[in-house]
């Protein structure tokens, strides 16, 4: 089985490992804190590639930020990565072919090939973390849009202008469904500016009524967004991933969406491809496209 080097570049860490074409990790997973300059990031990537270059067929990178349709260049904003990151010429880092894809798209592909949405030709993955990532697969293909940037979960949930979103607009789905959204909901319900998502989770385990209401309200906001997405995409399934997904009840969301949708019933699954779905999906997708 041919192997590739899979690399996941996030705002806090860079992880890499050998991955085979079936998406199985074949080496130790190495992790480095993401450096604060473009030059240092290039050095980390070069060192990682040098370590494995003789054993691999290609390099596949899952990165924060939108990636062009040629899978060669980061084109979108990457607020959590240093300025200049977009200018990195990834192909120049290796003598082998270098393929890059947005991390949410890559993870969605891993779920489609080996994980929760296996065989769902029409699926939407929502990564619930600090923000919300989106990966949309339509008719068995990643939805990339004209430039490669499609799948951003910024659409309006309310016109009250209550929550300024990371994109600059107000009241986007992301401003409600994300970890930050949960925190904002908690601040409103507890009327306490200092409350954290950690406090909410902790209090909910002790049956605190406000904490439970906070989680229910947050989950309901997620369900409203999923309902809208199902009305647009008529998806076979949705996959929930990311650090916050374990705090939502997929079955409750599924029941809500299916009771209200104007298309057809869908399925809501928790992600299965694991913490390294990004690098796995990048390798599997690259293997299919290169
Ligand atoms: Zn937004």
**Residues 44-74 pLDDT 10s:** 999 999 999 999 999 999 999 999 999 999 9
Residue for token pair 């003598």: 95
Separation of CA 289 and ligand 1 centre (Å): 31
Distance 172 CA to ligand 1 centre (A): 5
pLDDT band at 78; cut points 50, 70, 90: confident
> How many angstroms is it from 147 CA to the middle of ligand 1?
19
Which tokens sit at 148?
Answer: 């490669």
Render 113-124 in DSSP notation, one character per residue: HHSTTTT-SSEE
Beta bridge partners of 4: 19
pLDDT at 180 over 90: yes
Query: How many angstroms separate the alpha carbon of residue 245 from the centre of ligand 1?
Result: 20
Kindly give the distance from the C-alpha atom of residue 142 to the centroid of ligand 1, in angstroms, as a whole number. Answer: 22
SS3 97: strand
CA–CA distance from 198 to each of 46, 203, 244 (Å)? 37, 9, 11
CA of 290 to the centre of ligand 1 (A): 33
Whether pLDDT at 79 is above 80: no
Instruction: Name the nearest CA neighbour of 239 among 140, 138, 139, 107.
Output: 107
Binning pLDDT at 50, 70 and 90, where does residue 1 land?
A: low
CA-nearest of 19, 8, 95, 116 to 53 is 95
Q: 166 CA to middle of ligand 1, Å?
A: 6
DSSP structure string for 143-164: --TTTS-------BS-SS---B
In percent, the amount of the chain with pLDDT more than 90 equals 94
pTM, full prediction: 0.95
For 16-35, what is the mean pLDDT?
96
Distance 104 CA to ligand 1 centre (A): 16
67: helix, strand or coil? strand
Cα-to-centroid distance, 98 and ligand 1 (Å) = 31
The count of other CB atoms within 10 Å of the CB of residue 266 is: 24
CA gap 57, 167 in Å, rounded: 38
Angle at 216 between CA 210 and CA 222, to 5 degrees: 140
Rounded-to-integer distance, Cα 247 and Cα 201, Å = 8
Q: How confident is the model at residue 83 (pLDDT cuts 50, 70, 90)?
A: confident
Distances (CA, A) of 238 to 2, 54, 142, 230, 283: 31, 38, 14, 9, 22
Q: Is the pLDDT of residue 189 over 80?
A: yes
Going from the Cα of 156 to the center of ligand 1, the distance in angstroms, rounded, reads 8
What are the tokens at 8?
Answer: 């996941």
**Cα dihedral 62, 64, 65, 66 sign:** positive
**Ligand 1 geometric centre to CA of 167 (Å):** 4
Query: Does the pLDDT of residue 169 top 90, yes or no?
Result: yes
Residue 278 has pLDDT above 70, yes or no: yes
Q: Domains for the chain: give ranges and CATH numbers.
A: 3-108+275-289 (3.30.420.40), 119-270 (3.30.420.40)
């Amino acid at each position: 089985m041919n192997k590739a080097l899979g690399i996941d570049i996030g705002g806090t860490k860079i992880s890499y490992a050998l991955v085979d074409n079936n998406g199985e990790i074949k080496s130790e997973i190495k992790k480095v804190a993401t450096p604060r300059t473009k030059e240092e990031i290039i050095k980390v990537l070069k060192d990682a590639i040098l370590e494995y270059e003789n054993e691999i067929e290609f390099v596949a990178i899952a990165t924060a930020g939108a990636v062009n349709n040629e899978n060669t260049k980061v084109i979108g904003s990457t607020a959590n990565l240093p300025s200049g990151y977009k200018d990195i010429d990834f192909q120049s880092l290796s003598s082998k072919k270098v393929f890059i894809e947005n991390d949410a798209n890559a993870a969605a592909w891993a779920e489609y090939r080996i994980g929760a949405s296996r065989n769902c030709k029409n699926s939407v993955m929502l990564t619930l973390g600090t923000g919300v990532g989106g990966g949309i697969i339509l008719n068995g293909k990643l939805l990339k849009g004209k430039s490669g940037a499609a799948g951003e979960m910024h659409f309006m949930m309310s016109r009250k202008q209550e929550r300024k979103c990371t994109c600059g607009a107000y009241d986007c789905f992301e401003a409600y469904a994300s970890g930050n959204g949960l925190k904002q909901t908690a601040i409103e319900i507890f009327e306490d500016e200092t409350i954290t998502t950690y406090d909410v989770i902790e209090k909910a385990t002790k049956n605190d009524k406000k904490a439970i209401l906070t989680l229910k309200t947050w989950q309901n906001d997620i369900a409203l967004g999923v309902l809208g997405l199902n009305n647009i995409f008529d998806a076979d399934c949705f996959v929930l991933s990311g650090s916050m997904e374990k705090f939502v009840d997929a079955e409750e969301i599924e029941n809500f969406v299916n009771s209200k949708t104007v298309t057809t019933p869908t399925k809501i699954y928790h992600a299965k491809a694991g913490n390294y779905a990004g690098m796995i999906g990048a390798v599997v997708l690259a293997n299919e496209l290169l």
